[in-house]
A and B are shown apart, each in its own frame.
Chain A
């Protein structure tokens, strides 16, 4: 599959501070690409360089075949950006905001109105189109931001920490919408987030720390490399278990045992069935991946 974004040796410095350090990656067309990192890791700076907002100190970025810094206007026509903050005018209605933004892409007014109605209906925003943007809830604003980013039918949608500050229900709605839109429109999604579980939706995840990629792969690859499944047991008698697994973490009668697979966990449960009062098995998560990677790099 062809790359829609190609970043090669990107570096961005602010004075002596290196925000992005020799970063290279590719994003495949139609995929969901996620940048995972803590605040200040360099995610937003990278996205700003890719979306033509910031000039790179060095390196080369190509978006949809166009070179950033040379073909910026062409790039801007093919990308949509949902920023971390709400940037539409709070004093205007959602519809007015969207009409203004559509006009900047030279979309005729009638066509813009048709697209706004269609997207608003897909994102269940119809009833809020006449309401002032500043009076919407966080989740409604975010959906309005997504409509705004999709007005000109972009091929690539950047989501810069799109669910930060939203309640779980709104976050779920935003993600359901984005996933549905990606299926319908064949969008490529470039996501930055510090919510680990959100990267589970990605086809490819790059973990970024101090401006550098410290790990990359599919979520399952990253989990298998950097996180382990774990079995938590509460035992009536711990002596036999402790002899077999002296390295397990201990807290009173509770033991936490990393296991290589579900099969291995079942074997342990069968072996110690008579001693077990309670148990819990959980798969390694992207939180574990992230913590293991970033702790390892510090």
Chain B
């Protein structure tokens, strides 16, 4: 039953091409901005800091750095967009048509959450593949198997995490207009809060601490670590330069201003996932009537 409900939610979502396009818009805007001019600014700034680094290694690092954020942001925005099916059903009170079938409320809730996760997985995987094609063609910097697996593992984790987080927040949305506004705000603010548009090294400490209290920048950092592991090695040969680049480009794992291990961060993400899954499911259940 959960499979059938999930399939219905997926069919309804993918049958609406504008919804699919807009779910990836934030990632697309970030990518286009970097190709258009932000990337050049970053490359120039990095060149100034590391005059001995080659053009190719600087470009490869900046591209892998920004594409990591593009993939992470995709997991965030697509999982939210997929919940438009839930919002539409709420607006039209379409739940009733399922509640008079043998489907249970728990199965319906699972259907919405799983659909959000699957949509996010499909679209984010496409973005991940695109990132590798781009890095392969322009920088010859495709991720090695272990780093690609780490990036994919992170992507799966973020898709689950954000699907559970949004499942809670969308229960407060009562109209399509509000949902679209939420999507726009999340898409725009998310990019900044993930440290994707501006490197965290250029931001005031208080702002960075705030960013690291939210899951976005720590998640982006995990993804950046996988994406930039080899390009960072090619970029710098000294420990001191590596440290500076890591701080400047947000490659150190922090919660607030405390340094944490990847394991601890994943543990916190799992905790966050469980909490939001619980309260989100409960609230969706109540909205069903």
* A residues with CB within 8 A of B: 51-54, 73, 76-77, 79-81, 83, 85, 87-89, 91-92, 96, 100-101, 103-106, 148
Among residues of A, the one whose C-beta sits closest to the C-beta of B19 is: A91
Among residues of A, the one whose C-beta sits closest to the C-beta of B15 is: A91
Write the nearest CB–CB distance from B250 to chain A, whole angstroms: 40
Complex: A183 Cα to B44 Cα, angstroms? 81
| Chain B residues in 8 Å Cβ range of A92 | 11-12, 15
Judge whether B255 is part of the interface by a CB distance below 8 angstroms: no
Q: Are B1 and A104 in contact (CB under 8 A)?
A: yes
| Chain B residues in 8 Å Cβ range of A80 | 100
The 3 closest A-B pairs by CB, nearest first: A104-B101, A87-B97, A103-B4
Option from A76, A91, A100 in Cβ contact (under 8 Å) with B100? A76
A-B contacts, CB under 8 A, total: 58
Q: Are B102 and A79 in contact (CB under 8 A)?
A: no
Write the nearest CB–CB distance from B141 to chain A, whole angstroms: 40
| Chain A residues in 8 Å Cβ range of B1 | 104, 106
Beta-carbon contacts under 8 Å, B115-162 to A: none
Q: Are B100 and A88 in contact (CB under 8 A)?
A: no
A51 and B102 contact, Cβ closer than 8 Å, known pairs A91-B12, A92-B15: no
The 17 listed contacts between A and B (C-beta, < 8 Å) are A52-B100, A54-B289, A77-B102, A79-B100, A80-B100, A83-B96, A83-B97, A87-B93, A87-B96, A100-B4, A100-B11, A103-B4, A104-B4, A104-B98, A104-B102, A105-B102, A106-B102
| Chain A residues in 8 Å Cβ range of B93 | 85, 87
Option from A85, A105, A148 in Cβ contact (under 8 Å) with B92? A85
Among residues of B, the one whose C-beta sits closest to the C-beta of A55 is: B289
| Chain A residues in 8 Å Cβ range of B7 | 100
Q: Are B16 and A91 in contact (CB under 8 A)?
A: yes
| Total chain B interface residues with beta-carbon distance under 8 A | 22
Write the nearest CB–CB distance from B15 to chain A, whole angstroms: 5
Option from A54, A83, A88, A105 in Cβ contact (under 8 Å) with B101? A105
| Chain A residues in 8 Å Cβ range of B4 | 100, 103-104
Judge whether B103 is part of the interface by a CB distance below 8 angstroms: yes
Most A-side CB within 10 Å, residue of B96, B101, B104:
B101
Among residues of B, the one whose C-beta sits closest to the C-beta of A132 is: B15
A53 and B102 contact, Cβ closer than 8 Å, known pairs A89-B12, A91-B12: no
Option from B5, B12, B100, B104 in Cβ contact (under 8 Å) with A51? B100
| Chain B residues in 8 Å Cβ range of A77 | 102
Write the nearest CB–CB distance from B87 to chain A, whole angstroms: 14
Judge whether B99 is part of the interface by a CB distance below 8 angstroms: yes
6 additional contacts, CB 8 Å, given A91-B16, A101-B97? A51-B100, A53-B289, A85-B93, A101-B101, A104-B101, A104-B103
Complex: A96 Cα to B12 Cα, angstroms? 10
| Chain B residues in 8 Å Cβ range of A104 | 1, 4-5, 98, 101-103
Option from B11, B100, B289 in Cβ contact (under 8 Å) with A81? B100
| Chain A residues in 8 Å Cβ range of B287 | none
| Chain B residues in 8 Å Cβ range of A79 | 100
Complex: A157 Cα to B16 Cα, angstroms? 32
| Chain A residues in 8 Å Cβ range of B99 | 52-53
| Chain B residues in 8 Å Cβ range of A76 | 100-102
Judge whether B285 is part of the interface by a CB distance below 8 angstroms: no
Complex: A77 Cα to B92 Cα, angstroms? 23
Write the nearest CB–CB distance from A76 to chain B, whole angstroms: 5
| Chain B residues in 8 Å Cβ range of A52 | 99-100
Write the nearest CB–CB distance from A135 to chain B, whole angstroms: 13
Among residues of A, the one whose C-beta sits closest to the C-beta of B100 is: A81
Q: Are B96 and A53 in contact (CB under 8 A)?
A: yes
Complex: A81 Cα to B95 Cα, angstroms? 13
Complex: A91 Cα to B89 Cα, angstroms? 13
Complex: A242 Cα to B93 Cα, angstroms? 58
Complex: A73 Cα to B12 Cα, angstroms? 25
Complex: A89 Cα to B10 Cα, angstroms? 12
Complex: A83 Cα to B93 Cα, angstroms? 11
Complex: A105 Cα to B16 Cα, angstroms? 26
Most A-side CB within 10 Å, residue of B5, B11, B92, B102:
B102
Judge whether B8 is part of the interface by a CB distance below 8 angstroms: yes
Complex: A101 Cα to B96 Cα, angstroms? 12
Write the nearest CB–CB distance from A80 to chain B, whole angstroms: 8
Complex: A106 Cα to B92 Cα, angstroms? 25
Among residues of B, the one whose C-beta sits closest to the C-beta of A106 is: B102
A88 and B97 contact, Cβ closer than 8 Å, known pairs A100-B8, A104-B4, A104-B5: yes
Most A-side CB within 10 Å, residue of B16, B96, B104:
B96
Complex: A106 Cα to B15 Cα, angstroms? 24
Among residues of A, the one whose C-beta sits closest to the C-beta of B8 is: A100
Complex: A47 Cα to B104 Cα, angstroms? 19
| Chain A residues in 8 Å Cβ range of B101 | 76, 101, 104-105
Complex: A79 Cα to B100 Cα, angstroms? 8
Complex: A85 Cα to B103 Cα, angstroms? 20
Write the nearest CB–CB distance from B241 to chain A, whole angstroms: 54
Complex: A132 Cα to B131 Cα, angstroms? 36
Write the nearest CB–CB distance from B52 to chain A, whole angstroms: 56
| Chain B residues in 8 Å Cβ range of A81 | 96-97, 100
Among residues of A, the one whose C-beta sits closest to the C-beta of B288 is: A53
Among residues of B, the one whose C-beta sits closest to the C-beta of A160 is: B96
Complex: A251 Cα to B97 Cα, angstroms? 52
| Chain A residues in 8 Å Cβ range of B8 | 89, 100
